[in-house]
Amino acid sequence: MQQTRVLELVKDLIARPSVTPEDAGCQSLLMEHLGPAGFGGETIAAGGVTNLWARKGDTGPLVVFAGHTDVVPTGPLDRWDHDPFDPVEVDGYICGRGASDMKSSIAAFVVAAREFVDAHPDHPGSIALLITSDEEGPAVHGTVKVCEALKSRGEQLDYCIVGEPTSVSQLGDTIKNGRRGSMSGKLTVIGKQGHIAYPQQARNPIHDATPALQALITEVWDRGNEYFPATSFQISNIHGGTGASNVIPGEVVIDFNFRFSTECSPESLQSRVESILKSHLIEYRIEWSISGLPFLTPRAELSEALTRAIAAETGVAAELSTTGGTSDGRFIARICPQVVEFGPLNATIHQINERLAISELEPLKNIYLRTLESLLLKDRA
């Protein structure tokens, strides 16, 4: 199979074992490709994380490609058919850790940007890449730090495509135009430990908690909206008891999570949970943690340009979706009015023998290129 510029760069990236938070030289490699095209590169490092902000141009509109060079751990090496950091071509696939998530998107970004600049050296507007090595991990020193730096110096982002692998059945079928928020709670219901044969001398916190939990489970938090499904409350863990069958425990700990839409706020959900708990007259304490707020980009120039590019390149009619977990789009949305996610198939992400069809690489690059042309050259049409 012909070795395209995208495939060559994908292989070079996969060969670098950039397990979170290591970048393993990936971002320097990107600048080797972007520098000759006039991109200035800035490293924004924090907490052992390497972040890259590479920009060409100083006028608007600014189109940003965002992604991460870090990958998840490989898992047992003996279960891989090949070394996960030695990219190989097998039956029309490029195989290796990060092939789908998301070194192929990054390679396609870079080549698309190079081809656009080569064809339109005097193009209006600006192009930038925001790349982190801390997306698959805690995500506290990565994209969020770059966004804070950009905001502090007044850089205005207009459009951003995050290269997460969003396609499900075929390249181009899904664009993520938002994500639900994620908030977890650790609820401790307090009782009184005692002998199980003398329940009158104890208070069973599991029994106290059960009606309240049932109320939380059956509560309708919202009904969603045009873009989001209804907010979901799910219990993930329950810990209680001493391990002995004849002891009433002194407390029970319940871990739960909300995946919530833009119809709710963390504050409103917390208030409603505590109101339900108080109505059941239980003694409790609760700890909250928010890992991401919801974000939404309604249909507008960016999603329309990307949808047209997908249709022109693949013939696929893309659907807008907000399903799935969180992404770094939640940070970028704080400083950019239009943020969407689009990338290759996600069938093997985080799996043993992660791979991507080589036939997707050129169309993916062309979709990004067409989108750039649509957004930056619209006044020349």
> Does the annotation place 68 within a ligand binding site?
yes
Nearest to 72 by CA among 47, 44, 101, 43: 101
Q: At what angle do helices 104-119 and 26-34 cross, to 10 degrees?
A: 20
> Does the annotation place 164 within a ligand binding site?
yes
| Parallel/antiparallel/unpaired status of strands 159-162 and 62-68 | parallel
> Which residue of the set 135, 208, 341, 373 is catalytic?
135
**Burial degree of 139 (CB within 10 A; 0-12, 13-18, 19+):** buried
At CB < 8 A and 24+ separation, what contacts does 316-319 make?
316/170, 316/171, 316/172, 316/173, 318/172, 318/173, 318/174, 318/175, 318/342, 319/173, 319/174, 319/175
Element (H, E) at 239: strand 232-240
Instruction: Answer yes or no: 70 catalytic.
Output: yes
Amino acid at 149: A
Contacts of 305 (CB under 8 A, 6+ apart): 371, 374, 375
Q: Rounded to an integer, what distance in angstroms lies between the CA atom of residue 44 and that of residue 346?
A: 29
**Burial degree of 226 (CB within 10 A; 0-12, 13-18, 19+):** exposed
> Which residue of the set 12, 22, 23, 70 is catalytic?
70
- Do residues 260 and 181 touch, judged by C-beta distance below 8 A? yes
Q: At what angle do helices 5-14 and 26-34 cross, to 10 degrees?
A: 160
List the structure tokens of 326.
């969180």
| Parallel/antiparallel/unpaired status of strands 319-321 and 174-176 | parallel
- Do residues 183 and 266 touch, judged by C-beta distance below 8 A? yes
Nearest to 314 by CA among 356, 365, 372, 363: 363
Coil, strand, or helix at residue 22?
A: coil
> Does the annotation place 350 within a ligand binding site?
yes
Per the DSSP assignment, residues forming a β-bridge with 195 are 247
Coil, strand, or helix at residue 339?
A: strand
Binding site residue list: 68, 101, 136, 164, 350
Binding site residue list for Zn(2+): 68, 101, 136, 164, 350
Could you list the active site residues?
A: 70, 135
